[in-house]
């Protein structure tokens, strides 16, 4: 996972998930996905898509993009949905991996200052504090 993240950052010179997705020719769409779905990743006819729920905050949209990007990099060939009832309360193996990937990607260029709490680091980097457990 760390190697995949470092490779992406070296190649695209950023840890911004939207820039990386664009560079990988993954289309990011913002749609109303209804209650309970924050995002999804799917691959159809060799084209890849990330769809993010448009009603989410910018912080969550960025995190969801990084999460769905993880599915593309770590779980090729699988289409995944970010479902609240599966992801936040009892995440499966693939969802936990994608959350961890997203946290690592978004914190990759961050220095943690002496005495600084992880909660503050997450806030400073616009990462939802609900994802602290994946640090």
Domain residue extents for the chain:
2-134
CA distance 37 to 52: 9
Q: Which residue in this structure is represented by tokens 């779980």? A: 75
Confidence class for position 56, pLDDT limits 50, 70, 90: very high
Mean pLDDT taken over the chain: 88
Cβ neighbourhood burial of 64 (10 Å; 0-12, 13-18, 19+) = buried
Q: Which residue in this structure is represented by tokens 């060939």? A: 77
What is the third-level CATH fold of 2-134? Arc Repressor Mutant, subunit A (1.10.10)
CA distance 114 to 130: 22
Tens digit of each residue's pLDDT (9 = 90 or more) over 3-44? 999 999 999 999 999 999 999 999 999 999 888 889 888 888
Beta-bridge partner residues of 83? 37
* Structure token digits, residue 13: 């010179």
């Amino acid at each position: 996972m760390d190697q995949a993240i470092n490779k992406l950052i070296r190649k695209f010179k950023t840890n911004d998930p939207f820039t990386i997705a664009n560079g990988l020719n993954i289309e990011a769409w913002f749609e109303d996905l209804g209650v309970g779905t924050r995002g999804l990743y799917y691959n159809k006819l060799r084209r890849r898509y990330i769809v993010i729920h448009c009603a989410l905050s910018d912080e969550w949209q960025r995190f969801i993009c990084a999460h769905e990007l993880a599915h593309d990099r770590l779980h090729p060939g699988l289409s995944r949905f970010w479902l609240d009832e599966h992801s936040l309360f009892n995440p499966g193996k693939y969802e936990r991996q994608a959350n961890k990937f997203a946290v690592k990607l978004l914190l990759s260029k961050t220095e943690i200052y002496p005495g600084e709490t992880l909660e503050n680091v997450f806030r400073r980097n616009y990462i939802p504090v609900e994802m602290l457990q994946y640090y």
